[in-house]
Structure 1
Amino acid sequence: MFIRTEKSVKEFMSYYPIVASLVIINLSLWLIIDVLHLPIAMQLYQWGIGHNLSVFYGEYWRLITPVFLHAGLMHVLFNSFALVLFGPALEQMIGKFKFITFYLLAGLAGNIGTYIIEPTANVPHLGASGAVYGLFGIYVFMVFFRKNLIDQANAQIVLTIFVIGLVMTFIRPGINIYAHIFGFIGGFALGPIMLTKALPFYAGRIRKKRKSNDISFDPNRWKKRQLTQKIKKNAFWIILGILVLFGIFNRLL
């Protein structure tokens, strides 16, 4: 469910076009603003960054545009990694339209919560963390109320990483705590609606759409299957290790 088995980036993009598009948008905007410093970069940044005082005076688009902007390489990589990790399964389970609607609403919930707590704050904020915590919210909803959609191993992964993320939310400086909390609440609250008619994640469901002439004999298929099984058994430690590495790099940069 949370281990990627696609053979290439192209295959991933064809299976999960919404997740892939969101990651491309995040990285492209970061590249334009933080690396290339194109003439339009500063205008995009100033127009789209979250700013409660500006929202107070009527710039309501700032409740959604910060979801696509990030503060630095590690910020965009961490949120994009989380999206690639937790987004594909949900996109398949509820469909493309529901997924993009859910993602934007969860991000919106995080920014609305930030605004409600401090409506005249003059401090900018940005990032997809609210939407990412919305993913945690809907998965936690599955764990408690839709157990047919998530198995015990994946439920353990979600709960453990969520707890770690929640702890980091309160101990790391510069974190928009309200966006995380309200994004999670928004994702949890949207669970009953978004999971209507949802099907459990099954990677083979997408692969069945391949044409029969694309199927060929692979002499190494058994070795690949054994490797995949080993990865699945150690999924929790692999994901946790990657998150720790991100945290270390973020401290060094």
Structure 2
Amino acid sequence: MFVRTESFKQFIRLYPIVTSLIAIQLAIWVLILLFPFGEDIIYQWGVGFNPLIHEGQYWRLVTAIFIHDPNGIMHVLFNCFSLVLFGPALEQMLGKFKFLFVFLFTGIFGNFFTYIMEPTQFTIHFGASGAIYGILGLYLYMIFFRKHLIDPSSSQIIVVILVIGVLMSFFRPNINIAAHIFGLIGGFALGPIIVKNVQAFNPWRKRRVRDDSSVSFDPNRWNKRRIPWKKYLTPLLWGLIVLLGLLGLIGGIL
């Protein structure tokens, strides 16, 4: 369920919302990091800052989801890698619009309670962690109340990650605990509404099946004896993504 076997092209075609969310977060991080207007406009006007939210700048509850630490790559890589792992199965099960709703709702829910708990706190908060915990919270609902939707090994993975993640939220410095906890609660609370009439994840659903039942003569077969570099491009790209994700995971633990 959480093991990715798709090629790069298949991943983009099968999970367009997950792909788009990852692309948006990475693009915004690059803009903030490399271009002056990125920090002056996107960062300054988009991060969560409770005193300004209190004054009516409510868009920050949304924009803060897509902004990450410009001074470190581990934050954005960890959240993107989490989307690569846990997003595809849920996008297939719920559909594009429901999945996007879960991501945005739980991210906003976590940011809203970050504001509610300390509305005058002069602390900047940003990142998609609240939405990531919202996705895990929805999986947790399935574990308790819709066991047929998630296999036992995947259930164990979710429980272990949640236990470690919640504990780390309290013991690591500079963590938005409210976003993590209330994002998790928001995802769990959406379960009874969102999971209705949902089918279990099937890795072969919507994939194109190639019919090799007929054998045909290929007149260009001799021209195809070149180095098949395209065959190695996809594994190389996936290896790079996994490597970056592991670096993000290590950075999140240390």
Calculate the TM-score normalised by the size of structure 1. Answer: 0.83
Give deviations 1:145-204, integer Å, cap 9, x for gaps.
Answer: 010100111100100111111111111111000000000000000111111111100011
Structure having the higher helix fraction is: 1
Residue among 41, 57, 77 paired with 1:43:
41
Q: By how many angstroms is 1:212 displaced? A: 4.4
Corresponding residue of 1:88 = 88
Q: By how many angstroms is 1:81 displaced? A: 0.4
Write out the 4+ residue segments of structure 1 that deviate beyond 6 Å after TM superposition: 214-217, 241-244
| Greater RCO, 1 or 2 (C-alpha within 8 Å, sep 6+) | 2
Corresponding residue of 2:176 = 176
Residue among 245, 248, 252 paired with 1:246:
248
Corresponding residue of 1:153 = 153
Q: Percent identity?
A: 53
Corresponding residue of 2:205 = 205
Indicate how the Cα distance of structure 1 residues 29 and 245 shifts in structure 2: closer, same or farther if over 3 A, else same.
closer
Indicate how the Cα distance of structure 1 residues 180 and 216 shifts in structure 2: closer, same or farther if over 3 A, else same.
farther
- Paired residues for 1:27-176 under 5 Å: 27-34=26-33, 36-71=34-69, 72-176=72-176
Give deviations 1:13-51, integer Å, cap 9, x for gaps.
Answer: 1010000000000100011101x1242442011111001
- Paired residues for 1:219-238 under 5 Å: none
Corresponding residue of 1:221 = none
Opposite residue 151 of structure 2, the aligned amino acid is: D
Q: Provide the rounded CA distance (Å) in 2 between the counterparts of 1:215 and 1:198.
A: 34
Given that 2:106 and 2:184 are in contact with CA atoms closer than 8 Å, whether structure 1 keeps it comes out as yes
Q: How many pairs are equivalent?
A: 226
- Paired residues for 1:181-192 under 5 Å: 181-192=181-192
Calculate the TM-score normalised by the size of structure 2. Answer: 0.83
Q: Provide the rounded CA distance (Å) in 1 between the counterparts of 2:31 and 2:112.
A: 27
Corresponding residue of 2:193 = 193
Q: Secondary structure at the match of 1:202?
A: coil
Q: Secondary structure at the match of 1:59?
A: coil
Q: Provide the rounded CA distance (Å) in 2 between the counterparts of 1:17 and 1:143.
A: 26
Given that 2:77 and 2:244 are in contact with CA atoms closer than 8 Å, whether structure 1 keeps it comes out as no
Indicate how the Cα distance of structure 1 residues 216 and 69 shifts in structure 2: closer, same or farther if over 3 A, else same.
farther
Opposite residue 5 of structure 1, the aligned amino acid is: T
Give deviations 1:199-233, integer Å, cap 9, x for gaps.
Answer: 100011121xx26458999xxxxxxxxxxxxxxxx
Corresponding residue of 1:230 = none
Q: Secondary structure at the match of 1:20?
A: helix
Given that 2:78 and 2:252 are in contact with CA atoms closer than 8 Å, whether structure 1 keeps it comes out as no
Indicate how the Cα distance of structure 1 residues 102 and 216 shifts in structure 2: closer, same or farther if over 3 A, else same.
farther
Q: By how many angstroms is 1:11 displaced? A: 1.4
Give deviations 1:77-130, integer Å, cap 9, x for gaps.
Answer: 000000111000000001001000110000011001101100111211100000
Structure 1 unmatched runs, 5+: 218-238
Opposite residue 103 of structure 1, the aligned amino acid is: F
